Amino acid sequence: MQVSLFVTCLVNQISPQVGVATVEFLKRIGVGVTFNAEQTCCGQPAYNAGYHREACEVARGTLRLFERELDSSDYVVVPSGSCVAMIRKCYPKLFSADAAECARAERVAGRVLELTEFLVRVLRVEPSGGSFGGRVTYHDSCHLLRELGVANEPRTLLSSMQGAEFVEMDRADVCCGFGGTFSVKFPELSTALAEEKLASIERTRADAVVACDTGCLMHLAGELNRRGSPVRCLHIAEVLNAQPETDESRD
């Protein structure tokens, strides 16, 4: 099994440890990983802000990159639900003016997978074989849940971690308030929604909140830091990659 990693602009620039964990974990379970350094962004920020032309310009390049990668890899794997939703659901719409381009987008769409989608639905990984000490809870990222229908997969993976006590939070599926440009345009509202989510997390008394999207995690971590809270925000890749001897698992 050979995959090409689309690491996403947020992970690349802000949370590279998520990319590192993804690569290390995939390699450990026997998946060949390549990374095309020409990748930039799926185009979602411009698309959501209403700038479709600009989004198209960037997405076009990313589409070409995927096509090249899929010549030598079985799948493109992405540690982000929102990017995959953009690629799978929005690229055909973005390129709808050109039938050929649209068809290309649709062809690619089926082979671009979010990490847990790939692990559970394609590789059928279970148990994950990792070890993580402490109580964890899970936040459903909106695009991952509602656009891609991924809900059980991350939970299955988390529940199978040795040493981890998985606790379901109330209102896990309610938006954390990030919403990309929403958090820049309506920061007070965005923060208020994060506070609601943090209250849900606190009620679980979890040591860490796990999600599959860096956007959500960044947003929640920001609020947690402001409060001086010890609760950690971890991407699922970081949890899966945690080994008994490493820092991540020690609590």
Partner 1 sequence: MSKATEKFIAIQTGVSAGGEEWQRLRKRAVMIKSHTLDNLDHYLEQFASNVEHSGGRVCWAHDAEEANRYICDLARTRGVRLAVKSKSMMSEEIDLNHALAMAGVEAVETDFGEFIAQLAGERPSHINMPIVHKSRADVADLFAAKLNVGRLEEIKDLASVARRLLRARFAAAEMGITGVNFAIAETGTIVLVENEGNIRFTTALPPVQVAVMGIEKVIPRLADLEVFLKLLPRSASGQKITAGVSLLTGIKRAPHEEGPREFHVIILDNGRTGILADPQLRESLHCIRCGACLNVCPVYRKIGGHAYGWVYPGPIGAVLTPILIGREKSADLPFASSLCGACRDVCPVKINLPEMLLHLRTQIKERPAAKVDPPARTGSHSPRTFGQLLANRAERAAFKLWAAVMKDARRYRRAARLARLAQLTLGGGKRRGVFSILLSRWTTSHIPPLAPQPFSSWWRELSDPDERRPER
Binding interface with partner 1 (CB under 8 A): 7, 9, 11-17, 19-20, 23, 35, 37-41, 43, 45-55, 57-58, 60-61, 142-143, 146-147, 171, 173-175, 177-193, 196, 218, 221-222, 226
Question: From CA 154, how far away is CA 237, in angstroms rounded?
Answer: 10
Nearer to partner 1, 77 or 221 (CB): 221
Give 90 or 206: the residue with its C-beta nearer to partner 1: 90
As given in the structure block, the two tokens for residue 105 are 């987008």
**251 is written with which tokens?**
């609590």
The residue whose two tokens read 């590192």 is 20
Radius of gyration of the chain (CA): 18
Looking at the Cβ atoms of 59 and 158, the one nearer to partner 1 is 59
Closest contact distance (angstroms) between CB of 216 and partner 1 is 10
Are the beta carbons of 88 and 6 closer than 8 angstroms? no
Shortest Cβ 92–partner 1 spacing (Å): 13
Place of tokens 């459903």: 140
Q: Which is nearer to partner 1, 49 or 167 (CB)?
A: 49
Smallest gap from Cβ 12 to partner 1, in A, equals 5
Unique residue bearing structure tokens 């920001």: 222
Q: E strand or H helix at 203, and its extent?
A: helix 187-204
Smallest gap from Cβ 242 to partner 1, in A, equals: 18
